[in-house]
Each structure stands twice: as structure tokens, then as C-alpha cells.
Amino acid sequence: MARTEATAAPAADAGELRRRVGDLLAAHDPATTDRTTFLQARFDAGLAWVHYPAGLGGLGAPRALQAVVDGELEAAGAPDNDPRRIGIGLGMAAPTILKYGTEEQKQRFLRPLWLGEEVWCQLFSEPGAGSDLAALATRAVRDGDEWVVDGQKVWTSTAHTARWAILIARTDPDVPKHRGITYFVCDMTDPGVEVRPLRQITGEAEFNEVFLSGVRIPDSHRLGEVGDGWRVAQTTLMNERVAIGGGRAPREGGMIGIVAGTWRERPELRTHDLHQRLLGLWVEAEAARLAGERLRQQLAIGQPGHEGSAMKLAFARLNQEISGLEVELLGEEGLTYEDWTMTRPELANFTGRDAGYRYLRSKGNSIEGGTSEVLLNIVAERILGLPAEPRTDKDIPWKELAR
């Protein structure tokens, strides 16, 4: 199918966007158009992510108007791009590519990323550099127009299904750890990339460890300047925390809705103590949901800030406390977990599963996307303006650090 681009002036209001959606639906009836063709047409019409530039799936419109497009298309029964399956690409890789990528990189990666044709993963954390990501040891050595990468990454969700990865590696060991890091796009199908499953407490292996042995990455797949990877990575990390903790949800959406539903349907399980705890967590979940709406309003006028760290903190704590309450509410029934066999899902799935699964899987919420301890420091220093923790290794060359 021939590809066309949105060439008209950027949509400035909800009415113009609704008109464009109407034109899309008239030309590509969701009832008779196959899913891939419809999504391609939507991207090329600038209705994929409306705040992106024309030609890259957007119209340069205010970010807040994306909800108008999504609502109109959902009401018409149009297919979506299965955003949960490609969340790392949408929430982390895409905004980083948009901000730091060359025009060639944007044209190459953004369209298949949004369409879900290419899944992405994130090669950041390492066995010796989890909470202290800047201490990473994976090396990238320049060899002409290529970089040769050697190292190990860990806790990599979707690595077993991904075509591309966002990768940070050390390119200069002679400078302090936050410098001398460079950001790359890595082809997961290249020789030297080995993905091994990591079995979790749930029995699943939704994430992995990744070994990089002599992987050759062309310099054309570098994002940002050489040695400036830490600054580029901050864009990824701030968007990651918003993606994890700041998703839009209806009232009683997510974990609190599951527990509240059980409470209403199973009166024989109720006790006064559990009732008081449920009410308290319900209020906190609603406050977090409304705070998330406020955060999305801030996103509509600019890049995410450190407030996303606070939202991710709240998300992790609430998920763990609510899932713990659910197990107590169900008593012996809450201890059962039927699906303990080794499986390789693309992502964790909290719906349609046992309470025991939710309780175990939520333990990872305070680790993935930045540990709660690190995020507390970020909130204290970057939002509240409290004194920073002493950092004695800040100005020491990376090669001289104790490891």
C-alpha cells in the first residue's frame, strides 16, 4: 500500500481532529479494513500521536488532544496498536528518538514502532549497576564507523521478543561515571546478542539477562553525542516512570477495582479491620489516580519532569499493599496460585489471574523502572529541594572506582 503523509496545517483544536478522524473512518471503514492497513492509514494521517510532528505520525497538535482522537476511534470500533504489548517502545524509545534522533532515525524507527511491527526492549541495568546505573560497565569501543560492544545487561523485559533495544554503554572509562556513557540503538538479531530467561518468583520468565559479545553497532545507530548518553538516558527514564505509574485509569481501575469487586460480591469475607484498610487504600488509590490526571496535564505542555518518579513510587506501594489486602481478604483461597509452570509471556498480566499471582508479581513494582529507594532520593532532591546525599565518587574517573 502506498504511504501518504499528513500535509495540511497542524490541527489546532478538537473540532479539526474530529474532522480528520471522520475522514480516516470514511476512507478506511474499520468493519471492512484489515487491522494493519487501518493502523498504517491512521499513522500517515497524523492521528497516531497527535503531538508528534507531521510526517512522524502526528500533526504538531497539543498532546492533550490525543484523548479526543482515541475516544472517537474507540467509539467507531477501530483497532488499536496493542499499546501494552509495545509499551517500552511507545513509552521510552519513541520519545527519546524524537528528542535526540536524526531525521533518518526518526523516519526509520518511529513508524514500525508505533504500528507494533517492531518490539523494543531496554538494555540499561547490569548485575553490578542496578540502583547505581551510572556505574555501568558494558563497554563500547569505536572501530571505524562501528562500535564493538561487550557486556551484560539484566532484568530486560521483552528481550526475547524484541527486534530493537535502547542501550547505554561506557565509551570513555577515563572520566567520571556520569560522563563517558553513550546511547545506542541495538539490533537484537545481530550476532553476539544472547538472551537468557530469568525465572521470577511467579514462575514466569517475562524478563531476561542479555549478554553482548563483540556486538557491532553502526555509528548511525547512536542517539545523541558521544559521551552524552547519561543526559539522553534521563529522557528515557523520566518517560519510563510516567509510563509505569502514570497511566490513565477510570475510578476503581487497576488493582483496587479487583479487591473492591471481591468485597461487594463476597460478604462472607468481610471483617471490620479489613473494611477500614480497604477504605483507606481506596481513598489513596483515587488520590493517586487524580494526581496522575494532573501529571498528564503537565505532560500536555512539555516533557515529563521528576513528578513521574513520585507517581511511580505511589503506584508500587499501592499495588503491594492492595494485593496484600486481597490475599488476607480471601484467606486460604488467597494463597492458591494455579499457574506455576515456566512460561515466557511478553509482559506481566494482572487481570484474569489468581490473587496469589498478583501478590507475588507486585513485589517487582518497587524494583522495575527505578527502585523505590532511588526514587525517594529523586523526589527529595529534585522536587522538594532537600540537600543531596553525599556522593564521594562523583568526580572520580570510572576506571578508578571500586567494583
Angstrom distances, CA of residue 272 to CA of 130, 324, 327, 329: 41, 16, 16, 11
DSSP string, 386-398: PPPPP-TTTTSBG
Cβ atoms < 10 Å from Cβ of 398: 22
- Cell numbers standing for residue 388: 543531596
In DSSP terms, 126 is beta-bridged to 129
Give the number of residues written for the chain.
403
Neighbours of 81 (CB within 10 A): 19
The β-bridge partners of 166 are: 122, 185
- In DSSP terms, 157 is beta-bridged to 207
> Helix or strand or coil: residue 103?
helix
Of the candidates 240, 307, 321, 326, the residue annotated as catalytic is: 240
Helix (H) or strand (E) segment spanning residue 205: none
The closest alpha carbon to 319, from 277, 379, 273, 359, belongs to 359
Concerning whether 240 is annotated as a catalytic residue, the answer is yes
Of 74, 63, 65, 53, nearest in space to 17 by CA? 65
255-265 vs 272-299: helix crossing angle, rounded to 10: 150
List active site positions.
240
